[in-house]
Amino acid sequence: MFLYFYQFVGKDLTGIIQFKSVVLGGLLLHLLLLGGCGQPATKTSPEQQTSSPKTVSDDSTQARASQDELNLSSIDLSPEDMYRVLLAEMLVVKGDVHSGYKVMFEVATRTRSPQLAERTFKLSMATYDLKAIASAAALWREVSPQQPLAWKASYIMQARDGKIQEALSSWDRFQALSPNDLVHDLMETGVRMTQAVQPENGMAFLQQLHQKFPQEVVMNYVLGMAAEAYKEFDVAIEQLEKTLQRLPLLDPAKIDAALKQQLYRESHHLLASAYLKSGQSDL
C-alpha cells in the first residue's frame, strides 16, 4: 500500500513541510536514518553549510550513537585496529561522540571494512556535523556501493552543497537500489529536500528530477508541494493545478485509490495556501 508513506510523514503532509534555514542536527539525523514506516511497497517499473561542530553530551544522543552493537567477531582486524575500534566505542559511551567518530573513521578508511564504514556513518550523524556526515557517507558508498542509505545520505548532502548533478547521480543509484517503488521514493525525496536543503538548491534539484519523470503525476505534486514550502508560489500554483488536472486522467490501475484521494486533498489544501500566501506582502 502506498499509504505507508503517509503513515511515515503523518496524515497531513503540509504540517511537516516547513523549511528552516538552519537544519537542527536532530532533524537531519532523523531524516537520514529513518525510512518509511510499515511494509515497503514492491518496486515496480515506472508508469509510469556546514553546521558548526558542537559537543554532544545529552543522554539521548549518546544512546542513539551507542545503541547499535558492532559485531567485531565478523571483522578481520589487526590488534592495533581492534584497539582503535574499541577506543572509539569507549569514547562514544563516555559521551565524546566527535572523538569516537574521528577514530572510527580513521580505522574504517584504512581497513575498508563495510561494517566499520556503516558504523562510522551512524556515528557521524550523532555528531550533528554536516562535513562529518558527508565524509562518512562518501566512505560508506565507496566501500558498500549496494547500500541505498549511503546513496540517500549522499544525494541530500550533495544537494545541500549545490552539487546538483552529483546529487542526481546519487539519487539514481539510490532509487535503483531502493526496495520501494518510484512513487514512494519521489514523494519521500520531496519531503527530505524541503526539510534539509535550502530553497535555491532544493528547487534546482527537484526541477531536474521533474525533467527526468515528466510522466509522473506525483512529480507535479512533489514540485508544487516543495515550491509552496519554499515560498515559490507561482511555481506551486502551476504544479498543483497540473496535479489536479492530471489526476482524473490516470488509469485507475496505475495508482492506488487511497493515494489518489490523498493527492487530491493535499493538492487542494496546498493550492489554497499558495494562493493566499502569494497575496501577502510581508512574507
For residue 159, the model assigns a pLDDT of 96
**Percent of the chain scored above 70 by pLDDT?**
74
Label residues 1-26 b or e (16+ Cβ within 10 Å = b). Answer: ebeebbebbeeebeeebebeeebebe
- From the list 173, 137, 184, 140, the residue with the least C-alpha distance to 157 is 137
Largest CA distance in the chain: 67
For residue 75, the model assigns a pLDDT of 85
For residue 44, the model assigns a pLDDT of 44
Rounded Cα distance, 184 and 28, in Å:
20
Instruction: Tell me what the pLDDT averaged over the chain comes to.
Output: 80
Provide the pLDDT confidence category of residue 168 given band limits of 50, 70 and 90. Answer: very high
Would you say the pTM of this structure is higher than 0.85? Answer: no
Tell which wins on pLDDT, 24 or 148: 148
Provide the pLDDT confidence category of residue 72 given band limits of 50, 70 and 90. Answer: confident
CB atoms within 10 A of CB 104: 27
Average pLDDT over residues 261-280: 91
For 228-269, the pLDDT digits (tens) are 999 999 999 999 999 999 999 988 887 888 989 999 999 999
